[in-house]
C-alpha cells in the first residue's frame, strides 16, 4: 500500500502537499476527491508533529471571543458539530466545568455573556429544538458543586458554569483516516520523505525535489501547485529556495502539557483561568490519565526540539493544585510531559494569547514568488476540513483537476467508543471489521501487544499493511494509543516489531534497530519531569 520514492519519481501531479499533519492531510484529501492528482509528502510520519502535541480538543475557542474572533468561533463550532456527528468513534462530546474565583480577570458576568454568545454561535437550524446537538451552558448553583466536583477549591469561588465542547482522544487517528480516504480516492501518500527543494527555475514552479529521510535517494516530481502545509516548519521549507526570499511567516508559540496518574484528579473536565497570568488552561480526563495544559510561550527554536521547561512544569502543577488543594498534583504524579509548537503568524509584540488562531492560505505570487506556490499559516485541529475547502479556492486559481471527482464509499458512523463495548478496535469505526478479519485469519494476532494494554497484535499488523506505518514508532505512537500509556508498551515492543517485520520484510537487525529507535523517540518526545534539562 505504501509506495516507494522510486515509484513516484517522474510521475506528474496536479498538486503536491508538503506536511502530513491534520491540515496537510485534510487539504490533500479534499484536492484528490475533487479530481486533482495529488501527492502528500511528510518528512517524519503522518500526524507526528503539531497534531500529536495538541491538547486533543475539538472546540470552538471560547477564549477567542474576547479577541473579537467571532468568525473563527462560528466556523470552529460548525466543524465541531460535523465531527461529533460524522466521526463519533474519534470525537466525543465533552462537558466542562468553568469555575470563576475572586480576583480572576474575567468576572462572572463576563463569563456568562461569553458562554451565551458561544451558544448563539453554535446554533444550527435543524439540530433539535435548541438548534444544536450539544447541551447549552448552565450556571451551576454553588451548593451543588460539593456533589459534582467535591475536591474543587471553594475559597473565593464566585460562580461556576458548565458548557459543551468535544475531545479527540487520539487526533493521530483523525490524520490516519484522512490519509486513508485520500489514498482510497487515488492519492499517493509518502511518509518519511522530505521536501528537499522547490523546483522553480526562472521563477516558474515546476515541482518538488524529494529525499528519502533514511538515505540519500532523491527524485524530482513535477507538479502544477505546491502547498506548503508544514505547520511550524513552513519557513524551513521555504528557506534557501529560489522560489521565495521574503520575511518569515511563522512566529510560533510553544504549548506544553503534563500527563499524570493523579489519584485526586477531578471527575470532570475543568476549564479555568490561571492565577499567575490569567490564561485559560485545562484539566482533562484523557485516556486512562489526566491531561493538564497548556502553556503559551513564544518559541523561535527548531519545532522538533520543543520541550517543556522547569518553569512550565511548575506553572501547570501550581495551577492544578490551586484548584484542588486537598489532593495537590505533584511531580511524582506526572508520567511525562510533551510539547508542540503552534504554527501561528509571526507577531513580535503583544500578548501571545492575542495572536490570531485563524488559518491563512498565502499565495506567494502576491509576494514575488512563482505562481502555484501556496503556504498555510495557522490552522488548528478543529477546523482542518474548512481550511481544506479554503485552500481549494487558491489551488483552483493555478490548476484545474485532471480527472473526474472521486467519490468515497459511504460508511455508517460507528457509535462504539474507545474503552466501551467496542474495546480497542473502537478507534477504527466502520473499518473495525478489517482488523477483526486479520485476527480471525491468524489467531496469533489476537494476543495483546503487551501485558498492560488491551490492544492486540492484529492492530500492529493492520498498521503496517493498511495504514502506512513504516516504523515501530509509527505503529505504537500514531496508529495505536499504547505508546502514550504508562508503560509505553516497551515490554511488547520487540514482539510488535516482529509482526511488522513479517509484513515489511525486515531482518533481525532491522527489528533490533526499530526497537532502539522507538525508545529514542519516546525519550525525545514524552519526557518525564526528572529528565527535563535544568530541573533540580
Per-residue pLDDT of the chain (536 residues; tens, 9 = 90+): 678 888 898 799 999 999 999 999 999 999 999 999 999 999 999 999 999 999 999 999 898 888 888 999 999 999 999 999 999 999 999 999 999 999 999 999 999 999 999 999 998 765 555 556 799 999 999 999 999 999 999 999 999 999 999 999 999 999 999 999 999 999 999 999 999 999 988 888 999 999 999 877 899 999 999 999 999 999 999 986 655 566 789 888 999 999 999 999 999 999 999 999 999 999 999 999 999 999 999 998 999 999 999 999 999 999 999 999 999 999 999 999 999 999 988 876 655 555 566 889 999 988 888 999 999 999 899 999 999 999 999 999 999 999 999 887 666 665 555 444 458 999 999 999 999 999 999 999 999 999 999 999 999 999 999 999 999 999 999 999 999 999 999 999 999 999 999 999 999 999 999 999 999 999 999 999 999 866 44
List of residues 6+ apart from 43 with CB closer than 8 A: 192, 193, 194, 195, 213, 230, 233
List of residues 6+ apart from 66 with CB closer than 8 A: 106, 114
How far, in Å, CA of 44 to CA of 52, rounded?
A: 12
Would you give the distance in Å from CA 271 to the centre of its chain? 20
> In which region does residue 244 sit, left (phi positive, over 0), alpha (psi from -120 to 50) or beta (all else)?
beta
List of residues 6+ apart from 38 with CB closer than 8 A: 13, 14, 15, 16, 17, 28, 31, 32, 182, 187, 188
How far, in Å, CA of 23 to CA of 42, rounded?
A: 12
By three-state DSSP, how is residue 531 classified? helix
Is the CA virtual torsion 379, 176, 48, 315 positive or negative?
positive
Under 8 Å between Cβ of 388 and 22: no
Alpha helices in 305-428 (DSSP H): 310-323, 384-395
How far, in Å, CA of 292 to CA of 260, rounded?
A: 8
Q: For 358, phi and psi rounded to 5 degrees?
A: -70, 155
Residue closest to 428 by CA, chosen among 414, 409, 410: 414
CATH fold of the domain at 423-525: Helicase, Ruva Protein; domain 3 (1.10.8)
User: Would you kindly state where each structural domain of the chain is located, as residue ranges?
Assistant: 5-50+172-250+356-395, 253-341, 423-525
Identify the pLDDT of residue 411.
Answer: 63
Does CATH place domain 5-50+172-250+356-395 in 3.40.630.30? no
How far, in Å, CA of 384 to CA of 391, rounded?
A: 10
List of residues 6+ apart from 179 with CB closer than 8 A: 20, 25, 28, 29, 40, 46, 189, 467, 468
* pTM summary value: 0.94
Question: What is the rounded (10 degree) CA torsion for 182, 188, 192, 198?
Answer: -110
Under 8 Å between Cβ of 167 and 56: yes
Using CA atoms, how far residue 513 sits from 137, 478, 490, in Å, is: 51, 19, 14
Does CATH place domain 253-341 in 3.30.9.10? yes
How far, in Å, CA of 121 to CA of 81, rounded?
A: 12
Under 8 Å between Cβ of 353 and 342: no
Count CA atoms within 13 Å of residue 166 on its CB side.
Answer: 30
How far, in Å, CA of 428 to CA of 435, rounded?
A: 8
How far, in Å, CA of 425 to CA of 460, rounded?
A: 12
Q: Strands 218-228 and 13-18: what pairing?
A: parallel
List of residues 6+ apart from 476 with CB closer than 8 A: 449, 460, 482, 483, 488, 489, 493, 496, 518
Q: Strands 360-363 and 373-377: what pairing?
A: antiparallel
How far, in Å, CA of 139 to CA of 100, rounded?
A: 11
Identify the pLDDT of residue 10.
Answer: 78
Helix axes 70-86, 108-121, angle to 10 degrees: 60
How far, in Å, CA of 27 to CA of 36, rounded?
A: 11
Buried-state track 81-91, b at ≥16 Cβ within 10 A, e below 16: bbbbeebbbbb
Amino acid at each position: 500500500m505504501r509506495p516507494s520514492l522510486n515509484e513516484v519519481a517522474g510521475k506528474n501531479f496536479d498538486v503536491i502537499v508538503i506536511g502530513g499533519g491534520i491540515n496537510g492531510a485534510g487539504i490533500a484529501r479534499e484536492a484528490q476527491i475533487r479530481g486533482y492528482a495529488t501527492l502528500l509528502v511528510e518528512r517524519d510520519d503522518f500526524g507526528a508533529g503539531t497534531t500529536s502535541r495538541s491538547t486533543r480538543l475539538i472546540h470552538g475557542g471560547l477564549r477567542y471571543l474576547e479577541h473579537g474572533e467571532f468568525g473563527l468561533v462560528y466556523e470552529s463550532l460548525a466543524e465541531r458539530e460535523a465531527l461529533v456527528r460524522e466521526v463519533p468513534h474519534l470525537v466525543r462530546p465533552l462537558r466542562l466545568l468553568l469555575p470563576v474565583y475572586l480576583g480572576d480577570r474575567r468576572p462572572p458576568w463576563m463569563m456568562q455573556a461569553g458562554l451565551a454568545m458561544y451558544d448563539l454561535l453554535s446554533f444550527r437550524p435543524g439540530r433539535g429544538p435548541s438548534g444544536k446537538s450539544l447541551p447549552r451552558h448552565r450556571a451551576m448553583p454553588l451548593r451543588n458543586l460539593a456533589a459534582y466536583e467535591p475536591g474543587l477549591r471553594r475559597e473565593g469561588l464566585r460562580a461556576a458554569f458548565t458548557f459543551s465542547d468535544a475531545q479527540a482522544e487520539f487526533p493521530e487517528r483523525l490524520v490516519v483516516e484522512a490519509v486513508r480516504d485520500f489514498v482510497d480516492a487515488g492519492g499517493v501518500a509518502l511518509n518519511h520523505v522530505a521536501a528537499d527543494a522547490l523546483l522553480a527555475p526562472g521563477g516558474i514552479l515546476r515541482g518538488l525535489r524529494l529525499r528519502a529521510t533514511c538515505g540519500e535517494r532523491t527524485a524530482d516530481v513535477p507538479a502544477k501547485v505546491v502547498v506548503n502545509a508544514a505547520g511550524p516548519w513552513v519557513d524551513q521549507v521555504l528557506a534557501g529556495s529560489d522560489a521565495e526570499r521574503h520575511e518569515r511567516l511563522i512566529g510560533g508559540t510553544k504549548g506544553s502539557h503534563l500527563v499524570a496518574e493523579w489519584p485526586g484528579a477531578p471527575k470532570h473536565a475543568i476549564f479555568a483561568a490561571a492565577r499567575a497570568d490569567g490564561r485559560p488552561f485545562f484539566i482533562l480526563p484523557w485516556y486512562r490519565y489526566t491531561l493538564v495544559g497548556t502553556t503559551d510561550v513564544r518559541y523561535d527554536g527548531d519545532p522538533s526540539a520543543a520541550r517543556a521547561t522547569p518553569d512550565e512544569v511548575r506553572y501547570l502543577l501550581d495551577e492544578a493544585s490551586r484548584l484542588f488543594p486537598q489532593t495537590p498534583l505533584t511531580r511524582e504524579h506526572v508520567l511525562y510531559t510533551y510539547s508542540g509548537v503552534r504554527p501561528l503568524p509571526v507577531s513580535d509584540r503583544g500578548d501571545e494569547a492575542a495572536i490570531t488562531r485563524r488559518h491563512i492560505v498565502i499565495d506567494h505570487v502576491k509576494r514575488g514568488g512563482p505562481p502555484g506556490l501556496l503556504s498555510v499559516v495557522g490552522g488548528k485541529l478543529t477546523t482542518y476540513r474548512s481550511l481544506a475547502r479554503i485552500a481549494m479556492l487558491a489551488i483552483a486559481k493555478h490548476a484545474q483537476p485532471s480527472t473526474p471527482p472521486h467519490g468515497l464509499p459511504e460508511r455508517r458512523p460507528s457509535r462504539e467508543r474507545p474503552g466501551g463495548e467496542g474495546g480497542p478496535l473502537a478507534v477504527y469505526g466502520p473499518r473495525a471489521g478489517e482488523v477483526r478479519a486479520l485476527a480471525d485469519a491468524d489467531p496469533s494476532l489476537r494476543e495483546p501487544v503487551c501485558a498492560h494494554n488491551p490492544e492486540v497484535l492484529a492492530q500492529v499488523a493492520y498498521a503496517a499493511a493498511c495504514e502506512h506505518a513504516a516504523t515501530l514508532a509509527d505503529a505504537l505512537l500514531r496508529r495505536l494509543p499504547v505508546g502514550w500509556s504508562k508503560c509505553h508498551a516497551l515490554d511488547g515492543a520487540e514482539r510488535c516489531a516482529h509482526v511488522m517485520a513479517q509484513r515489511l520484510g525486515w531482518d533481525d537487525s532491522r527489528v533490533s534497530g526499530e526497537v532502539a529507535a522507538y525508545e529514542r523517540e519516546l525519550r525525545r518526545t514524552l519526557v518525564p519531569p526528572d529528565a527535563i534539562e535544568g530541573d533540580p
